[in-house]
């Protein structure tokens, strides 16, 4: 039955294919049924080609075995009708085989696109690691790198156990991936006369609920690297004083609970995505690639942890005035920014979950928007710092690039290039203002600017969808179940801006609060902050047992913090 539906859907495309191959899909002299009265008559259906009838292969001019034996240096003989999978070898190629191959080709293109985009996003972990490490002091290099390294493992494990199920367990079929139908169970409650999706219940361990499925695996990989991006943001905000065990527990919670819940509400068919269908607010909360879901979640969790652990020793004087604590390697920082900008081409264009069908060809526009916003973001930050302090600051230029990329992440699929450039420029200035605010007014110590880059600009990106979405995108005719294109306030739909603001309030009121409460509990149970002695010593030896840069070993006071673990083993052999 399913095969029959699939074949029926593909019939028009197959007809076009046959016409191109010189085989008439309909008799030349027949008029296609157009009116209801005509449609009631059977002749058209009777004339439809049989899907099981063998096709005449000679019309496709397949290359002979002799031709193929000579090789194909020009690439004109490879990939022909001979490569179409045949379901019944005795019968030979049928129309059904041809249309099935068309469908599989579409899904294959989308699988490859989504996987490669996911691989790019995974590589962003390297970018985050060296940006954060470069912005920290050399005595904490190993600790900072190890947080960024193991965040991948801790987060992945938590997400595999339950995070993915909570997030995507009720998302339903994903058209571009040709399936994910087993992800069909969303826990909902009835409230205010509407149905509110809260979390998914299929996909625990990627086996429960029939989720041992190829399309589910592709979706898992892509969503997992997004979650890992959120978790790695937190390590920057709490760097140089965060106890490693507290970091491990906190990361597990973020990957298992906080991130998946908000991501379900935004992407998994949850209540935020249904604000359009339920309350008439545009297309509901729209976050194309995760300014809110990924970056604001990471940035706000970072704010919660940074508050709990407090500022680094020496960051503030007794009168509250801040001291600059420069990072140890600007080359690492800017190289990491470039790696992140490269990975962002997986982040945003990859979020179409395909390159074929349902408006996915917009990937070109999304990639250019991403590029432009990063450019104007670094430009805005550079200009601000140059005008205000007289020098074009390198680290803030890097943060400006990242801020522009963060801000364009949510709107990248819905705006034009002018909107993207403005969004990025605002982000570049906003990150500088935000860094100054947290540094001087709020006195929240954030060594790498993660709260400003990802938190503040994540929220700005969410809001900018409600302002700049131009109503030109069309991903299969609807978004979040609402027909038409996402349109912001500047293009005539104030409801979309309201939906985005509800999302902002949810990020502040739910994500921050949940992260704060959990990390507060961790603080009570195991402590979030290392001892002052450890902090002064540098976290590398006391926490990790080895220095990031062994040449600096003479600066370590062995009596206070003896080298342990692998570091001790290395010492013993030298």
Of positions 150, 502, 536, 568, contacts another protein by CB under 8 A: 502
CA pair distance 379, 373, nearest whole angstrom: 10
Q: Which is nearer to another protein, 337 or 462 (CB)?
A: 462
Element (H, E) at 195: strand 194-200
Pairing of strands 186-191, 478-479: unpaired
Q: What is the 3-state secondary structure (H, E, C) of 375-433?
A: HHHHHHHHHHHHHHHCCCCHHHHHHHHHHHHHHHHCCCCCCCHHHHHHHHHHHHHHHHH
Helix (H/G/I), strand (E/B), else coil: 174: strand
Window 180-239: residues binding another protein (CB under 8 A): 192-194
Residue 497 within binding range of another protein, rule CB under 8 A: yes
Residue 406 Cβ vs another protein, minimum distance, rounded to whole Å: 19
Q: Which is nearer to another protein, 420 or 514 (CB)?
A: 514
Residue 317 within binding range of another protein, rule CB under 8 A: yes
CA pair distance 560, 541, nearest whole angstrom: 10
Of positions 251, 291, 378, 506, contacts another protein by CB under 8 A: 506
Residue 499 Cβ vs another protein, minimum distance, rounded to whole Å: 9
Residue 447 within binding range of another protein, rule CB under 8 A: no
Q: Which is nearer to another protein, 333 or 462 (CB)?
A: 462
Residue 525 within binding range of another protein, rule CB under 8 A: no
Of positions 200, 236, 270, 311, contacts another protein by CB under 8 A: 311
Q: Which stretch binds another protein (CB under 8 A): 204-212, 304-312, 384-392, 418-426?
A: 304-312
Residue 517 within binding range of another protein, rule CB under 8 A: yes
Of positions 24, 43, 280, 477, contacts another protein by CB under 8 A: 280
Residue 84 Cβ vs another protein, minimum distance, rounded to whole Å: 52
Residue 505 within binding range of another protein, rule CB under 8 A: yes
CA pair distance 572, 61, nearest whole angstrom: 73
Of positions 43, 364, 509, 565, contacts another protein by CB under 8 A: 509
CA 426-431-432 angle, to 5 degrees, is: 105
Of positions 136, 141, 238, 281, contacts another protein by CB under 8 A: 281
Residue 277 within binding range of another protein, rule CB under 8 A: no
Q: Which stretch binds another protein (CB under 8 A): 226-234, 251-259, 306-314, 560-568?
A: 306-314
Residue 492 within binding range of another protein, rule CB under 8 A: no
Residue 536 within binding range of another protein, rule CB under 8 A: no
Q: Which is nearer to another protein, 470 or 523 (CB)?
A: 523
* CB 350 within 8 Å of CB 120: yes
Pick from 317, 139, 290, 310: nearest CA to 224 = 290
* CB 231 within 8 Å of CB 154: yes
Q: Which is nearer to another protein, 244 or 316 (CB)?
A: 316
**429 Cβ contact list (under 8 Å, min separation 6):** 380, 381, 383, 384
Residue 433 within binding range of another protein, rule CB under 8 A: no
Residue 495 within binding range of another protein, rule CB under 8 A: yes
CA pair distance 482, 281, nearest whole angstrom: 10
Of positions 24, 153, 494, 565, contacts another protein by CB under 8 A: 494
Residue 508 within binding range of another protein, rule CB under 8 A: yes
Find residue 423's DSSP bridge partners: none
Size of the site for another protein (CB under 8 A): 37
Residue 275 within binding range of another protein, rule CB under 8 A: yes
Residue 21's CB is within 10 A of a number of other CB atoms, namely: 16
Helix (H/G/I), strand (E/B), else coil: 274: coil
H helix runs in 164-243, sequence order: 164-168, 214-237
Strand intervals (E) in 361-486: 478-479, 482-483
Helix (H/G/I), strand (E/B), else coil: 118: helix
CA pair distance 525, 522, nearest whole angstrom: 5
Chain position carrying tokens 């970091």: 247
Residue 149 within binding range of another protein, rule CB under 8 A: no
Residue 224 Cβ vs another protein, minimum distance, rounded to whole Å: 27
CA pair distance 364, 355, nearest whole angstrom: 10
Q: Which is nearer to another protein, 310 or 392 (CB)?
A: 310
Residue 510 within binding range of another protein, rule CB under 8 A: yes
CA pair distance 373, 288, nearest whole angstrom: 15
H helix runs in 410-529, sequence order: 417-436, 450, 457-468, 494-506, 512-525
* CB 256 within 8 Å of CB 247: no
* CB 409 within 8 Å of CB 294: yes
Residue 28 within binding range of another protein, rule CB under 8 A: no
Q: Which is nearer to another protein, 234 or 375 (CB)?
A: 234
Residue 438's CB is within 10 A of a number of other CB atoms, namely: 22
Residue 176 within binding range of another protein, rule CB under 8 A: no
* CB 294 within 8 Å of CB 406: no
N-to-C CA span, the chain: 72
Residue 450 Cβ vs another protein, minimum distance, rounded to whole Å: 16
Of positions 33, 63, 103, 310, contacts another protein by CB under 8 A: 310
Residue 436 Cβ vs another protein, minimum distance, rounded to whole Å: 14
Binding mask 76-95 for another protein (x = CB under 8 A): --------------------
Residue 498 within binding range of another protein, rule CB under 8 A: yes
Residue 207 Cβ vs another protein, minimum distance, rounded to whole Å: 35
Binding site for another protein (CB under 8 A): 192-194, 275, 279-281, 303, 307-308, 310-311, 313, 315-318, 320, 442-444, 494-495, 497-498, 501-502, 504-506, 508-510, 512-513, 516-517
């Amino acid at each position: 039955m399913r095969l029959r539906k699939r074949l029926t859907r593909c019939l028009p495309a197959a007809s076009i294919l046959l016409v191109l191959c010189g085989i008439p899909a309909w008799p030349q002299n027949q008029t296609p049924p157009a009116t209801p009265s005509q449609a009631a008559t059977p002749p058209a259906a009777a004339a439809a080609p049989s899907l099981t009838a063998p096709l005449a292969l000679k019309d496709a001019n397949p290359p002979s075995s002799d031709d193929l034996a000579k090789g194909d240096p020009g690439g004109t003989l490879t990939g022909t009708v001979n490569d179409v999978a045949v379901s019944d070898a005795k019968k030979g190629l049928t129309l059904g085989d041809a249309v099935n191959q068309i469908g599989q080709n579409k899904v294959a293109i989308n699988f490859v696109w989504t996987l490669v985009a996911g691989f790019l996003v995974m590589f962003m972990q390297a970018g985050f690691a060296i940006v954060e490490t470069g912005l920290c002091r050399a005595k904490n290099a190993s600790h900072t790198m190890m947080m960024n390294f193991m965040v991948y493992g801790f987060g992945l494990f938590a997400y595999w156990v339950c995070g993915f199920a909570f997030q995507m367990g009720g998302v339903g079929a994903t058209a571009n991936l040709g399936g994910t139908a087993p992800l069909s169970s969303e826990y909902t409650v009835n409230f205010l006369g509407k149905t509110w999706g809260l979390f998914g219940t299929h996909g625990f361990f990627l086996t429960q609920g029939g989720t041992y499925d190829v399309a589910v695996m592709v979706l898992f990989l892509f969503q997992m690297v997004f979650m890992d991006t959120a978790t790695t943001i937190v390590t920057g905000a709490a760097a140089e004083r965060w106890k490693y065990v507290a970091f491990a527990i906190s990361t597990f919670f973020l990957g298992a609970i906080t991130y998946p819940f908000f991501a379900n509400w935004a992407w998994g068919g949850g209540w935020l995505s249904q604000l359009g269908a339920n309350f008439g607010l545009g297309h509901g909360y729209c976050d194309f690639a995760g300014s809110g879901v990924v970056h604001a979640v990471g940035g706000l969790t970072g704010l919660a942890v940074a508050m709990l652990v407090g500022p680094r020793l020496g960051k503030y004087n007794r009168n509250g005035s801040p001291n600059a604590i420069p990072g140890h390697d600007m080359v690492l920082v800017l190289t990491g920014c470039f790696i992140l900008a490269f990975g962002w081409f997986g982040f945003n264009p990859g979020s179409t979950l395909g390159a074929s069908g349902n408006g996915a060809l917009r990937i070109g526009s999304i990639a250019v928007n991403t590029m432009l916003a990063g450019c104007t973001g670094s430009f805005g930050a550079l200009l601000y710092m140059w005008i205000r302090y007289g020098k074009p600051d390198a680290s803030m230029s890097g943060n400006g690039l990242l801020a522009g990329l963060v801000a364009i992440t949510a709107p990248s699929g819905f705006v034009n290039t002018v909107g993207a450039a403005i969004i990025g420029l605002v982000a570049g200035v906003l990150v500088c203002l935000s860094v100054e605010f947290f540094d001087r007014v709020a006195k929240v110590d954030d060594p790498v600017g993660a709260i400003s880059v990802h938190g503040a600009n994540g929220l700005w990106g969410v809001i900018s969808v409600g302002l700049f979405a131009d109503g030109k995108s069309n991903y299969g005719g609807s978004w979040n179940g609402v027909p038409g294109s996402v349109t912001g306030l500047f293009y005539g739909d104030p409801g979309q801006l309201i939906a985005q603001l509800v999302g902002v309030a949810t990020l502040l009121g739910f994500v921050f609060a949940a992260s704060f409460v959990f990390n507060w509990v961790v603080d009570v149970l195991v402590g979030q902050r290392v001892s002052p002695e450890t902090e002064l010593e540098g976290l590398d030896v006391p926490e990790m047992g080895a220095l990031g840069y062994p040449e600096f070993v003479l600066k370590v006071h062995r009596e206070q913090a003896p080298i342990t673990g692998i570091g001790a083993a290395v010492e013993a052999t030298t």
